[in-house]
Structure formats: C-alpha cells, structure tokens
Amino acid sequence: VGFIALPMILINSLGTAIFLSIIDSTLRHEEQTKAVQTHDVLQLANETLPYFRAGMHERSCTEAAKIIMRFIKVSAVSITNQERILAHVGAASDHHIPSNGILTNLSKEVLKSGKIKEAHSHDEIGCDFPGCPLEAAIVIPLRSKGATVGILKMYFTDATKLTFVERQLAEGLGNIFSSQIELGEMELQGKLLQDAEIKSLQAQVNPHFFFNAINTVSALIRVDSEKARSLLIQLSHFFRSNLQGARTNLIPLSKELEQVKAYLSLEQARFPDRYQVNIEVEDGLSEVLVPPFLVQILVENAFKHAFGSRKIDNQIWVDVTKHEQGIQVSVKDNGLGIETERLIKLGKEVVLSEKGTGSALENLNKRLISLFGESGKLQFETSTQGTAVSCTVPYREREE
C-alpha cells in the first residue's frame, strides 16, 4: 500500500480531473448548442415576421417557408390556410403544389381538431400520391384570436429525424408564427379603421366646399346668368372627378391643382380682381401623391381669413418644392397675420371666427397626421406682413 499509494493518488486525481474536464466540456458544448439554437430561432422569427404579418398569402408564405427551411433541418416545409396549400418548399414539391387543395389526411385532422399531430410513416401522413418521399411529419396549427387559420407542416424523408427536440422546436415556432399572424391582422384592422376615419374626414370637406360653391353661383346668377351657368358646369365636372377619386386617400398633385383652379374660378367670378394667386410647382412633381383638398383648403382659408376687409393687393403664393424628407407644400399670403391666441389653436381644435369655425384646418391636420404621422402636420408662421402655412408630404408617385 505504501508503495502504490502515491502513484494511485496521482493517477486517480488525474483521472478525476480528466473526467471533470469532460463533464465541463460537455456542459459548455451544450450551452453553446443552446445559444446557437436560440440565436437561430430568434433570427428565424425576426426574418419571418414581415411575411406572416403581411397575411396568409401565397407569396408571403412561400418566402416564410424558404426561411424556415434555411434554419431548420427538415426535408420540406408546407403552410396552408383552412382550404388550400399556400406554400410548399423542399421534397415532394412536384405534387404538393400551392393553390391545390389540402392533400393529406393528417393536415385535415389538425385543421379540424386544432391540436399538434405527428406522423412517423408514409401511411400516417396520408398522402395518396404514388412515390411520395415523405416518411414523417409534424403538423402545427396556426391560430389567430382563438381560431385555427392554417397549419405549418415540417416533413422528413427519414422518419428517425423526427425527435422530441424537433417537436418542441416546432411547437415553439407555431406559437411565434401564430402571434405574428394575429399581430398582422390587428395591424390590418388598425389600418382599415384609420382609413375609415380619414375617409370620414374627407367626406366632411365635400359638403363644406359644395355649399360655398353653390353660394357663389347663387350670388352670380343675378348679375351674370351665363357666367353662373358656365361655373355650374365646371362645378359638376369638379365633383364628378372628386367622386371618382374618393376611394383613395391620396391623389396626384396635378389633380389637386385642377381642383384648386376650379375653386379659384368660382371665387374670382364672385370677387373679380380681388385676389391674385400664383402657383409654382417644381419640375417633376406633378404626379406626386398628396391628400385631397390639401392645397384648396389652405387657399380657401387665406381667402376667408388673411385679408380682412381689404379689397386690393391680396396676394397668395402656392409653392410645391422638393424637400429632404419628401415634398413641401406651402401657401403664403401677404395678409394681416394671425393673433397668437388663435395661432396656438389652429389645426388642433375648432377656432370660432366671423367667417367660419376653423374646422377645415383641424380636419386637414388630422388627416395629415393620420397619413404621415406628426412629421406631416401643418406648420404655421405668421407676422404682420402675412402668414405661411406648410406641410411636408413623403415623396410618393402615382405609379408606386
């Protein structure tokens, strides 16, 4: 014992150290593997997010399936809605074709039950196509607001590759993708609600302009019936084109300027030579999209409130120029300016005056903020030499 004690202690210590080193190395490797898997899952979720949020469509689901194939070791990925295949990438893509009806009995069972199911043989998958290479599958329901809206299927050509790890991973991905789909639907509903609010605000402008125009024609009938008739025809053309464009929140700048010119012809017929309006548009901006009535409301506001009872030297300048954040639309006058108390409220709330309520500017400002955010709201600059009202609209053309 005395002879072997020291070598035994040394060898046992070395063995224990090696054993502990192996355990430590294994734990480190396991941690690294988990970190890599976590990173891949997060990256997968991040890359598929815009596609699932875009909705359950063939194009978006196909791109999402390609991303899943890139990160997860499976033979094929398929995504369906409740009725048909939206995407299939990988093995068996010759007969699991997008736009076709759902082929496998397994998928139909998951859609009906809303529960995850596994298949470990070709017969369990239930594909009737002869020679189908798919031997195993895990099928995960995709949910939105408690209802099954589709399924995610991961296929394997080797049944032994479908393990407990793959099931846990698939289940987690199904929850992530379901949340993304539901988030996309919520965003869509929000956009539809916002669009309805903008349409409602636009609808309030039409009667406002219409009644003013009718009053102008009514006043003109007594002094020049032929001119009133001409203006009434022009007014009908104006409202016909306006109704055609009422389905959209944005119209080409050229169309908006046509509306402005129609309004100017009505006002100048009523008050000849009282106002001079100069319109300058930078080259290449005629097809840029702007909210309906943007320029017309600002010009009308200047007509009504900028000059008081002054009947001469009433100048208005309309300028549309390129801006680093889009295009800048500016309407400037050489009027009397705006009192500080009123300036604070303009565009934010109703401002009572002798010639109106200020609701048109509030309406317009709400539409601009709804469409473009706070960066699109009206900006006011005023002094005793006049007032300038401007806003910045993101550069967007009709073709886009």
Token code pair at residue 185: 């639907």
Residue from 219, 202, 336, 200 nearest 269 by CA? 219
pLDDT in tens, 190-235: 766 666 666 666 656 556 667 777 887 887 788 888 888 888 887 7
- pLDDT tens track for 114-140: 888 888 888 888 888 888 888 888 998
| % residues pLDDT > 90 (the chain) | 12
Q: For residue 58, what pLDDT is reported?
A: 86
Query: For residues 331 and 316, what is the distance between their CA atoms, to the nearest angstrom?
Result: 7
320 by Cβ neighbours in 10 Å (0-12 / 13-18 / 19+) ranks as buried
* Confidence (pLDDT) at 209: 65
Mean pLDDT value of segment 158-186: 83
Please report the pLDDT score of residue 386 as a whole number. Answer: 92
Please count the residues of the chain: 400
Q: Look up tokens 């995709």; give the residue.
A: 142
| E strand or H helix that includes residue 186 | helix 164-221
Q: What is the mean pLDDT of residues 331-355?
A: 79
Bridge-based pairing of strands 275-281 and 314-323 is: parallel
- Phi and psi at residue 8, in whole multiples of 5°? -65, -45
Strand-pair partners of 317: 278, 332
- Give the pLDDT confidence of 256-307 residue by residue, as tens digits: 888 888 778 877 777 788 889 999 999 989 889 998 888 988 998 898 888 8
- Section 23-52 average pLDDT: 76
In angstroms, rounded to a whole number, what is the distance separating the alpha carbons of residues 275 and 297? 16
Averaging pLDDT over each range in 57-71, 361-375, 381-395, which range is the top one?
Answer: 381-395
Confidence of residue 400 (pLDDT cuts 50, 70, 90): very low
Short-list 153, 150, 203, 142, CA closest to 175: 142
- In this prediction, what percent of the chain has a pLDDT beyond 70? 88
Contact 296, 277 (CB under 8 A): no
Say whether pTM exceeds 0.85: no
40-to-75, 172, 175, 303 alpha-carbon distances in Å: 18, 13, 16, 62
Asked if 292 and 256 count as a contact pair (C-beta separation under 8 A), the reply is: yes
Residue bearing tokens 């009737």 = 128
| Paired tokens of 365 | 């400002």
